[in-house]
Amino acid sequence: MHTLFASGQVEAIATPESVQGIDGLLANDVQMLTQIGFIAAGLGDTRQSSAIFAGLQALRPQRAFAWVGEATAWLNAGKPSEAVRCLGRFEGPPGQERDMVQAFLGLAMQLDGQGQASLRVLKAVAFQPVDPATEGMLLARQILGGHTLEDLNTPTPGAAGTFAKTP
């Protein structure tokens, strides 16, 4: 066991030997591949990042990180419709992972010009009757600009598909 000191908190993390998964990869291997994938995504290198994240999606199909990583690459490459397509393939069960993917899907849809569809997805994630809120729920609320559900359900003339508050 190793101890990690980060932002004033102490967390215990297992040594690589103790976290080998059934697929033969160590947690550190998955983390390293994820980091390399995000570096490629940050550069908009969809060829490299898609290959890495496709492998991670196969290994961890119900975890959000690989799906969000691939979508990030498409967004950085200026191809939000591909990000929408990627995120739409996620089939994880309801919960924290799905909420995160749905929040990113709502963002990708907004960037793809699908304002009304984006709004529906983000509202469905952001205003679930779940306590405490998941990270995906909080992200969806941030993307919606801090609006309440009532704000979003009140039509604003000429603002279809946008989240900006009017003066």
pLDDT in tens, 45-67: 999 999 999 999 998 899 999 99
pLDDT surpassing 60 at residue 23? no
Distances (CA, A) of 155 to 90, 108, 120, 150, 161: 31, 22, 14, 10, 10
Predicted pLDDT at 130: 87
pLDDT of residue 25: 67
End-to-end CA distance of the chain: give it in Å, rounded: 55
Residue 96 confidence (pLDDT) above 90: yes
Separate counts of helices (H) and strands (E) for the chain: 8, 2
Average pLDDT, the chain: 81
CA dihedral over 73, 75, 80, 86, signed as positive or negative = positive
Query: Which residues, in sequence order, are CB contacts of 91 under 8 Å at separation 6+?
Result: 61, 62
- Structure confidence by residue, pLDDT tens digits, 131-152: 899 999 999 999 999 877 776 7
pLDDT per position as a tens digit, 6-15: 333 333 333 3
- Report the C-alpha gap between 160 and 115 in whole angstroms: 7
- Average the pLDDT over 78-89 and give the result: 97
Report pLDDT for 16: 35
Q: Report the DSSP beta bridge partners of residue 6.
A: 9
Q: Which two tokens stand for residue 112?
A: 């793809």
- Collapsed DSSP state (helix, strand, coil) of residue 2: strand
pTM value?
A: 0.75
**pLDDT value of position 26:** 76
Distance in angstroms (rounded) separating the CA atoms of residues 68 and 53: 9
